[in-house]
Chain A
Amino acid sequence: MTLINLAGVNKHFGDYHALRDIDLNIHQGEFFSLLGPSGCGKTTLLRVIAGFEDPDSGSLHIDGRGMAGVGPNLRPTNMVFQSYAIFPHLSVAENVGFGLRRSAMSKPDKARAVGEALEMVGLGGYGNRAANALSGGQRQRVALARALILKPKVLLLDEPLSALDKKIREQMQVELMKLQREVGITFILVTHDQEEALVMSDRIAVMFEGGIGQLDDPETLYRRPATERVAGFIGMMNFLRGQVTSTGAEIEVEVEGLGRCRVPAEQAPGGVSAGAVSVGIRPETLSLLFEGERTDRMEVAGRVDEVVYYGDMTYYDVAVDGIEKPLTLSMKNLIGRPVLDVGMPTRVAWDERSLVLLGR
């Protein structure tokens, strides 16, 4: 069921076109992410939904209600700000209970609601602390509790994890997902971190220069990016030059260094026509063949150009004749599997089904 509908939304800041003709439906109860590099308009879009920015044209409906002229205080949305915006002069409990000031609840009911909200984000018993005395992760939880206590239809999260260090960030990703499933509220997350978006979201809209480049679930987005740009932004991708020779249920394409390949049509989500095309291969779909190893996949000879050791994985750059840039591929460091040295000759196994034909 569609909860939020944007149609033809445009927003300018002076000469800068921050949002270009945004058409978007966000469903009831989903974890939706707006992903893109800085300046792509994702935060502006979030602020339009929250009511902090008015679109220059287009319409926004939340739960069937038009939002033109409705202020942020009257919308069924609440926001977790990037800076958390914890009120420094109030205690933790006063911060969390701030939104209940205008509600008709009795005092003990409010206190109970605040207690429950703090419990929900794992801060039970922190109510009397000064908001200033909290760590980054705790402030983030207070901001969450403060926004969720009003039981909004939509929770808006503006880069909520970007200020936390890696360990806490990964922990909070999982907690946020659990929380979203628990409360069943629609979450809209703004992030520039593709991994964060892939981990948490039901659907992701990838934004570039004020427009939506691709909107899909994380798996589709990762496996079948529609354009070179989306492919480059999400995960690692090798880009090869190719020539499409025939189209149909199977597309025939001549790929540099790999020769003639037959690719299923679904591997060209952006659609292709005969002529030059960019061909993508993910590093984990390639593998090195060690001495004497045989494979029923395709193989091509090359030479190790660079080795990057990550502990659990090793990333290799392998130079292959006929391919301009060395192929990047990743290998799990299984027991008994040697790490190759730079300059060693090797073979790379690959698969036609893992090629993606990318649009411009």
Chain B
Amino acid sequence: MRGLRFYAIAYLVFLYAPIALLPLFAFNDADIIAFPLSGGTTRWFAELTQSASLLDAARNSLIIAATTAVLSTVLGVCAARAATMADWPLKRPMMGLIMLPLVLPEIIVAVSLLVLAVQVFGLGLSNTTIIAAHTLICMPFSIAVLNGAFQNLDPALEEAALDLGETRLSAFRLVLLPLVMPGIVSSLLISFTISLDEFIIAFFLSGANPTMPVYIWGLLRFPGQLPVVMALGTILVALSIVLLTIAEIMRRRGLKRAGLRDRGGFL
């Protein structure tokens, strides 16, 4: 028992200590990232807001993440509904293939997408190419979350709505959509977070306007900028935690609304 507890604590320290260093140095009043700490300051955060190129990168990232979240969720709703409400040949292998990008090395996806965009389609690199690629890697997550939401529904609910005079479309809007809404919010938030954090694909596919992670990577070449990077990292970590917490809360609320037992979430 004692050994197990020690292991659990050591594991958590190993997992979270590096992340805890971010805010520590983001508020440290020194140009060099090293102990001992030398008093608190918020000037790195102030410096952040001064940099026009950083704000551009941030705006870029937000646009890409928001668009990706919407696209991936809309496509995910279509896929999840098709997978749960209908049966067609080869459904199982197809659903398996949809989940495959989850385990493919991202660097390979990035290189092949670069080849596809530039050589095959002859596209210039821009936000559009990043959005397309991010939608691709977010969809497995969206489908996993939404599949759960749709599968939890009794198929008789839709039939009951049809039976009471609604069309397929209005039955979807009046019954299915409200019941899977928590799953939709969950999917939006997860896709948004993944896209916001994603580096490798964005690095390969971004044109003149880098996304925030790519911009941060660029900053690392200048040691003097490190504390600013730490401040930015702190903001991103905080944002990610908030978004994922909301996603989990929505998922649980969805289960409660549908009157179901929690069988362990996606997160």
* Distance to closest chain B CB from A52 (angstroms): 6
Chain B residues near A150: list those with CB within 8 A: 164-165
Smallest Cβ-Cβ distance to A78: which chain B residue: B163
B165 touches A99 (CB 8 A): yes
Tell me how many residues of A have a C-beta within 8 Å of chain B.
Answer: 24
A101 to B166 Cα, complex, angstroms:
9
Chain B residues near A74: list those with CB within 8 A: 165
A79 to B164 Cα, complex, angstroms:
9
- Among the 9-residue stretches A85-93, A118-126, A165-173, the one with 4 or more Cβ atoms under 8 Å from chain B is A85-93
Chain B residues near A101: list those with CB within 8 A: 165-166, 174
- The residue from A71, A82, A88, A146 contacting B156, defined by CB atoms under 8 A apart: A82
A73 touches B154 (CB 8 A): no
Smallest Cβ-Cβ distance to A146: which chain B residue: B164
Given the interface pairs A85-B159, A87-B160, A89-B178, the reply to whether A102 lies near B154 with Cβ below 8 Å is no
* Distance to closest chain A CB from B106 (angstroms): 38
A50 in the interface (beta carbon within 8 A): yes
- Which of B157, B165, B174, B175 is most buried by chain A, counting CB atoms within 10 A of its CB? B165
Chain A residues near B258: list those with CB within 8 A: 88
Given the interface pairs A85-B154, A88-B259, A89-B178, the reply to whether A102 lies near B159 with Cβ below 8 Å is no
A52 to B160 Cα, complex, angstroms:
10
Q: For window 34-53 of chain A, which residues contact chain B by CB distance below 8 Å?
A: 50, 52
Q: For window 145-173 of chain B, which residues contact chain A by CB distance below 8 Å?
A: 154, 156-157, 159-167
A278 in the interface (beta carbon within 8 A): no
A79 touches B163 (CB 8 A): yes
B110 in the interface (beta carbon within 8 A): no
Q: Can you identify 28 A-B contacts, CB atoms within 8 angstroms?
A: A50-B163, A71-B162, A71-B167, A73-B163, A73-B165, A73-B166, A77-B163, A78-B163, A79-B159, A79-B160, A81-B156, A81-B159, A81-B160, A83-B154, A85-B154, A85-B157, A85-B160, A87-B160, A87-B161, A88-B259, A99-B165, A101-B165, A101-B174, A132-B257, A146-B164, A147-B163, A147-B164, A150-B165
The 5 closest A-B pairs by CB, nearest first: A99-B164, A85-B156, A85-B160, A81-B156, A72-B162
Q: Interface on A for B, CB 8 Å cutoff?
A: 50, 52, 71-74, 77-79, 81-83, 85, 87-89, 98-99, 101-102, 132, 146-147, 150
Q: Interface on B for A, CB 8 Å cutoff?
A: 154, 156-157, 159-167, 174-175, 178-179, 257-259
